[in-house]
Amino acid sequence: MQELHRLTSEYIESEDRLRLTGEDQQGEALCLWLTQRLALRMISHLINLLAKGSPEALQNPTQDDDTNDLLQGFAQDAATSNIEHQEAVDSSKATKSLLVMEVDISCSPEGAVGFVFKNADDHVSLGFEAQQLRQWLTIMYAQWQTAQWPDQIWPQWIAKRETPDANSTERPIH
């Protein structure tokens, strides 16, 4: 199973899909394609994980919505302000491209999240620490806006925040 260490996430209008171009430790690149339907399910699950199991959610045992939004917003702002701009992974150097049919998501008690992207023939893994997950969700929200996909799944603590320019040639990642 190939393990990715860097990732560029972008919406490709001609495909009406999200392309995740990843690079492994050896510098080999590949493209993972996500449909809106799969991305919607994946993002919804990740937002739910943060809303219920993040340290910010656990600081609010009554699960008061206003307090939760405030705490999650602070955590999201902190993560977003620490995004480091990196050179994008070059999709033209990808040795393979696969349409993702399924994503397994695992979460550690420390808030790290692991992904296994699957299609019929391949499995590709990727991991994010808690702050990296929040940063990636900010990037995904910007791409979602570029795609003009319905954004009801995005909570205020992400949607009302300043996001990186979705049309920038440099994509902050992982």
Residue 119 or 172, more confident: 119
> pTM of the entire structure?
0.81
Q: What pLDDT is recorded for position 84? A: 78
| Angle formed by the axes of helices 65-81 and 130-147, nearest 10° | 90
Calculate the alpha carbon distances from 131 to 75, 76, 126 in Å: 8, 8, 15
Whether residue 142 lies inside any domain: the answer is yes
Instruction: Give the residue among 17, 51, 21 at the shortest CA–CA distance from 154.
Output: 51
Whether residue 12 lies inside any domain: the answer is yes
List pLDDT tens digits, range 70-110: 677 777 777 777 777 778 888 988 889 999 999 999 998 77
Whether residue 33 lies inside any domain: the answer is yes
Gap between the Cα atoms of 108 and 120, Å rounded: 27
Gap between the Cα atoms of 125 and 123, Å rounded: 7
How many domains are there within the chain?
Answer: 1
The answer to whether the CB of 141 falls within 8 A of the CB of 164 is no
Whether residue 168 lies inside any domain: the answer is no
Q: Residue 114: pLDDT band by 50, 70, 90 thresholds?
A: very high
List pLDDT tens digits, range 116-160: 999 988 999 999 998 899 899 999 999 999 999 998 999 988 887
